[in-house]
């Protein structure tokens, strides 16, 4: 017993268990039963029970139950505490010191089920309490070292290393959950086709897709782009284990091919893609349509009267109203996808080195960004910029088109084979529409001309990548 007072008048039971994977709370229930049995033997009146279920006392995470207990002690609402063992209360010496101070100041009596008598009113008793705390801390650190060594050994052998259930797999970490696996593969394919993580996160949230740890909160999962990105880029999805910076083959079934996962990691790891995962685009041509003066991509913005416009990323020599351009391109796309031979566009090319293509595409994007930076610093002329961007853009288009065909089939699926193309288009987010446009055509915007007041379709040049 930790003792500093006579018979307490208001006793709190504190229960904690570090891991409750099933979420059943049976561990803390057993602790409470033992503590109540002890209180009955001592004749202590139990008025409150504080519980921290599935929360460690050694990792620094907030323990709401323990904090309420200390607040009650400091406020004088509780003058007695019962716990199953001292290590249920503390595994960090700094917390123990504060607890001793509170108990001394407020004359709190503390009793445990499994430990002997410790009198906090004496220096010897406080020394014993600190020794128990130091022993608990040593036990924790030794256990962590042992678990880490076991996990490294299991990882090198390709075995599951334990932990919370990973999305896409059962609790054993190796058996694929068909429904979740299908969603992961579908999301990976759609991201590779250009759809934003933001749109996919909203879709998963709206459809009520639950995370692997939903049982802890028992509330619907709200997916964020960052959370979805983390789930998609886990090496285990491709039956790989990341160990000390290297990738080791795992001994469980893959949810997606390794080349798909590598292409996804390359795409989501590029600077432009990281910034693009937070919001859904509003305009079809931003970052995609080409400046007719220098060959750089255009971006969407607003003019002096807050109307949306396309401007060249590299210079101020092009500014076009975005609305009429998007309307024209939409008409052309819907007409092509509604044509009698549209289904022929779904043909794909097998046998492509997708891993090599992904690396090549990433390198081309870096080179393209570097060209634009050199021009902005005045290192290269506008003519050299236009020539370099045209060549790099052509190479990147070919590379991305080949990778998309090999990894996920045709980006036109769901449109070229739709019974109602206009309805399918209307129900699709802008990020997905941009992918379809990229697969069908290259759009170049020429300057509208001095004094032009009306939209001239002839200033929009469309180069079809497939037969019209």
| DSSP of 152-191 | HHHHHTT-----SPPTTB-TTSSSB-HHHHHHHHHHHHHH
DSSP letters along 20-45, please?
Answer: -TT---HHHHHHHHHHHHHHHHHT--
- 60 and 138 fall within a common domain: yes
- 184 and 125 fall within a common domain: no
Indicate which CATH number applies to the domain containing 104.
3.40.50.1390
Structural domain includes residue 122: yes
Indicate which CATH number applies to the domain containing 206.
3.90.1750
* Tokens coding 411: 């980006």
- 55 and 132 fall within a common domain: yes
Average pLDDT, the chain: 81
- 202 and 325 fall within a common domain: no
How many domains does the structure of the chain reveal?
A: 4
pLDDT value of residue 312: 92
Expressed as residue numbers, the domain containing 79 is: 11-143
pLDDT of 109 above 90: no
Structural domain includes residue 164: no
Structural domain includes residue 157: no
- 86 and 119 fall within a common domain: yes
Poorest-pLDDT segment among 98-102, 132-136, 202-206, 340-344: 132-136
Q: CA nearest 200: which of 235, 233, 168, 224? A: 224
Task: Judge if pTM exceeds 0.85.
Answer: no
- 94 and 208 fall within a common domain: no
Picking from 362, 389, 409, the residue at the C-terminal end of a domain is: 409
- 61 and 22 fall within a common domain: yes
- 465 and 337 fall within a common domain: yes
Taking only the tens place, the pLDDT of each residue in 325-352 is 999 999 999 999 998 888 877 765 555 6
Taking only the tens place, the pLDDT of each residue in 242-275 is 876 677 888 889 999 888 888 788 777 644 444 4
- 62 and 208 fall within a common domain: no
- 233 and 105 fall within a common domain: no
Taking only the tens place, the pLDDT of each residue in 127-181 is 766 776 666 666 666 666 676 666 667 667 777 877 788 999 998 888 999 999 9
pLDDT value of residue 5: 46
Picking from 276, 306, 324, the residue at the C-terminal end of a domain is: 276
- 307 and 422 fall within a common domain: yes
- 250 and 187 fall within a common domain: yes
Taking each helix axis from N to C end, the angle separating 430-440 and 382-408, rounded to the nearest 10 degrees, works out to 100
Structural domain includes residue 6: no
Structural domain includes residue 148: no
Residue in this structure with the two tokens 């070919």, named with its chain if needed: 398
Q: CA nearest 191: which of 250, 233, 235? A: 233
Picking from 256, 276, 296, the residue at the C-terminal end of a domain is: 276
Structural domain includes residue 158: no
Structural domain includes residue 248: yes
């Amino acid at each position: 017993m930790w003792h500093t007072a006579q018979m307490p008048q208001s006793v709190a039971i504190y229960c904690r268990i570090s891991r409750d994977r099933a979420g059943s709370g049976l561990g803390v229930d057993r602790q409470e039963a033992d503590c109540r049995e002890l209180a009955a033997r001592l004749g202590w009146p139990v008025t409150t029970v504080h519980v921290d279920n599935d929360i460690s006392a050694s990792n620094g995470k907030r323990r709401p139950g323990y904090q309420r207990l200390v607040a009650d002690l400091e406020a004088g609402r509780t003058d007695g505490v019962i716990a199953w063992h001292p290590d249920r209360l503390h595994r960090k010496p700094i917390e123990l010191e504060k607890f001793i101070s509170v108990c001394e100041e407020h004359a709190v009596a503390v009793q445990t089920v499994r430990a002997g008598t410790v009198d906090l009113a004496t220096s010897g008793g406080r020394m014993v309490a600190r020794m128990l705390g130091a022993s608990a801390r040593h036990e924790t650190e030794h256990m962590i070292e042992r678990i880490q060594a076991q996990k490294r050994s299991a990882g090198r052998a390709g075995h599951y290393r334990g932990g919370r259930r990973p999305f896409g797999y059962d609790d054993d970490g190796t058996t694929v959950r068909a429904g979740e696996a299908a969603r992961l593969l579908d999301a990976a394919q759609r991201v590779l086709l250009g759809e934003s993580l933001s749109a996919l996160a909203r879709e998963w949230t709206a459809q009520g897709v639950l995370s692997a740890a939903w049982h802890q909160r028992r509330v619907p999962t709200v997916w964020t782009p960052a959370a979805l990105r983390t789930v998609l880029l886990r090496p285990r999805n491709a039956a790989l284990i990341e160990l000390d910076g290297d990738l080791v083959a795992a001994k469980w079934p893959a949810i997606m091919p390794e080349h798909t996962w590598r292409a996804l990691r390359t795409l989501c790891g590029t600077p432009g893609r990281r910034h693009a995962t937070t919001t859904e685009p509003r305009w079809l041509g931003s970052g995609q349509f080409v400046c007719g003066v220098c060959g750089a991509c255009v971006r969407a913005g607003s003019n002096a009267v807050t109307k949306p416009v396309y401007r060249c990323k590299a210079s101020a020599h092009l500014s076009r109203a975005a609305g009429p351009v998007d309307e024209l391109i939409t008409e052309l796309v819907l007409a092509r996808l509604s044509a009698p031979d549209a289904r022929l566009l779904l043909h794909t090319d097998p046998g492509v080195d997708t891993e090599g293509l992904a690396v090549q595409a990433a390198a081309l994007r870096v080179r393209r960004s570097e060209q634009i930076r050199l021009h902005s610093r005045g290192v290269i002329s506008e003519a050299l910029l236009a020539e370099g961007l045209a060549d790099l853009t052509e190479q990147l288009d070919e590379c991305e088109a080949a990778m998309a065909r090999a990894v996920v089939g045709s980006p036109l699926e769901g449109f070229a084979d739709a019974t109602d193309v206009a309805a399918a288009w209307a129900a699709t987010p802008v990020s997905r529409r941009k992918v379809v446009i990229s697969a069908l055509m290259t759009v170049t915007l020429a300057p509208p001309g001095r004094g032009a007041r009306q939209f001239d379709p002839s200033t929009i040049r469309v180069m079809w990548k497939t037969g019209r």
